[in-house]
Amino acid sequence: MNNIWQEILDVVEEKMGKPTVEAFLKPSRAIINKEDNKLTLIVPNEFIKTYIEQKSGKLKNIIEDILEGENLKLSLEVDESIGNLSQEEYLENNNKVEKNEQKGFLSKYTFETFVVGPGNRMAHAASLAVADNPGKAYNPLFIYGGAGLGKTHLLQAIATTIRSKKPNLYILYITSEKFTNEFINAIKDDKINSFQEHYRNIDILLVDDIQFIAGKERTQEEFFHTFNTLYESGKQIVLSSDRPPKEIRTLEERLRTRFEMGLIADIQPPDLETRIAILQKKAEIENIDIDPEALVLIAEKVASNIRELEGVLTKSMALCSINQESRITIKHAQEALKNIEDNKLNNLPTMDEIAIAVSKVMQIKLEDLKSRGRKSHQANARQIAMYLCREMTKNSLPQIGEYFGRDHSTVIHAYERIKEDINKDQTLKRIIEQIRSFLKSV
């Protein structure tokens, strides 16, 4: 394995230069599956994956030529967790994943690497308290906020800290989607008893994106009993969501009340100073040399999402390496930001996509957005959809009105109302951020 990977590194460096190796291959990890005759190149972000797949035919051809001699095919995957692991460490972790019940932990997510600001201070303090005193400080701890703001980071940091202090505890980090899938498989394979025994003997249960169990009646019932068993046994439960329990529609009331029994802490988008500190921390961890002006520019332009913020820094670093330069300047930052801005212009959502996003986030039927229904929730969702169509598309007021079966004056009223209320209604603001995040993810 190491011989093939080293050969790839050596040949690419000889034919394309060291900067290409440093920018695109050194941050990546390789795994060979001989049964599938495949080498999977694990890359840390979509930028590198797209570069290898679409923009650098020469690099891809060199790798495939070497693999052809070994009767292997090339496959590319993204795994953001690989940044702090060497090739050997990644292979070791990958081998352990299949055997270790406590898989899913990412070593880079610690309290030391989490940047605290006004928008996340309470959630951070509560997470620290839980990590220091599980089962007693805040139970359950419910953390909510938009995509890419650090919820997963805090859950992982809690798990990492407890594991280091109390290695004998059984800790499980899982997404609600995985919990649901495992429950469905247990029903299918007639293994409900073993499923229940597994989940009800955990010491620390951390569930990401718990909002996705809403509407799934049997999954909610099973999680309700799991929650009760663990809570009554003094076990720690930590949940994350994109919204507070009271805003998760079709969530059973008995679950809602249990989620609200402990502490609810929200995470807001970081302010400018916090965004700068986040970039400084990432640059320090990854030993990136960057001009202060470039750092401030990135922080000013990317305001709502930490994941996107760090992505721009990574792209700036790649551009710097390609140009065989050692320090990220404002020129590299501008180029990386230009790519994002161009993508936003070229990928404007359609009114259909906005309507779907609104229906998903607000848990309302798609047809209700265009109906004559006057129920408060329907009307509110419709006005939000109109507002976003006006903000995010190039459609005219009459076109938006026609789409929703209304005239243009109704669209103007909806737009002005949401525009005014968004500055004073935090719940409304959070819903719109969730819809925007949903649109970015599809």
- What's residue 267's pLDDT? 92
424: how many CB neighbours lie within 10 A of its CB? 8
Same domain as 223, residue 322? no
Residue 52 · residue 24 · CB < 8 Å: yes
Instruction: Flag whether 73 is marked binding.
Output: no
Single residue among 331, 346, 361 that ends a domain in this structure: 346
Q: Which residue has the higher pLDDT, 132 or 344?
A: 132
Same domain as 380, residue 358? yes
Asked, for residue 105, whether it belongs to a domain, the answer is no
Per the listing, tokens 């073993």 go with 194
Instruction: Flag whether 150 is marked binding.
Output: yes
Handedness of CA 214, 422, 239, 272 (dihedral sign): positive
- Cα torsion for 402, 406, 408, 411, to the nearest 10°? -110
- What's residue 19's pLDDT? 76
Asked, for residue 418, whether it belongs to a domain, the answer is yes
Instruction: Flag whether 161 is marked binding.
Output: no
Report whether pLDDT(210) > 70: yes
- What's residue 345's pLDDT? 55
Same domain as 433, residue 301? no
Looking at mean pLDDT, say which of 90-99, 183-192, 348-357 comes out highest.
183-192
- What's residue 222's pLDDT? 95
Number of structural domains found in the chain: 4
Instruction: Convert 166-202 to b/e letters by CB count within 10 Å (16 or more is b).
Output: eeebebbbbbbeebbeebeebeeeeeeeebbebbbeb
Confidence of residue 102 (pLDDT cuts 50, 70, 90): very low
Q: What is the pTM of this model?
A: 0.62
- What's residue 321's pLDDT? 81
Same domain as 427, residue 307? no
Could you tell me the maximum CA-CA distance found in the chain, to the nearest angstrom?
68
Same domain as 133, residue 278? no
Same domain as 333, residue 281? yes
Report whether pLDDT(91) > 80: no
Same domain as 68, residue 45? yes
Report whether pLDDT(20) > 60: yes
Single residue among 217, 243, 266 that ends a domain in this structure: 266
Mean pLDDT of 178-205: 92
Report whether pLDDT(388) > 90: yes
Instruction: Flag whether 152 is marked binding.
Output: yes
Confidence of residue 96 (pLDDT cuts 50, 70, 90): very low
Single residue among 234, 266, 298 that ends a domain in this structure: 266
Same domain as 306, residue 243? no
Same domain as 126, residue 260? yes
Same domain as 370, residue 342? no
Report whether pLDDT(158) > 90: yes
- What's residue 214's pLDDT? 87
Asked, for residue 46, whether it belongs to a domain, the answer is yes
Asked, for residue 201, whether it belongs to a domain, the answer is yes
- What's residue 100's pLDDT? 35
Asked, for residue 90, whether it belongs to a domain, the answer is no
For residue 3, give the H/E element and its range: helix 2-16
Residue 236, domain CATH: 3.40.50.300
CA-based nearest residue to 80, from 112, 52, 46 = 46
Report whether pLDDT(360) > 90: no
Asked, for residue 383, whether it belongs to a domain, the answer is yes
Asked, for residue 93, whether it belongs to a domain, the answer is no
Residue 324, domain CATH: 1.10.8.60
Residue 387, domain CATH: 1.10.1750.10
Helices 306-322 and 330-346, axial angle in degrees (round to 10): 120
Same domain as 251, residue 145? yes
Q: Which two three-digit tokens encode residue 27?
A: 């941050």
Same domain as 385, residue 254? no
Residue-number span of the structural domain to which 385 is assigned: 351-440
Confidence of residue 97 (pLDDT cuts 50, 70, 90): very low
Asked, for residue 98, whether it belongs to a domain, the answer is no
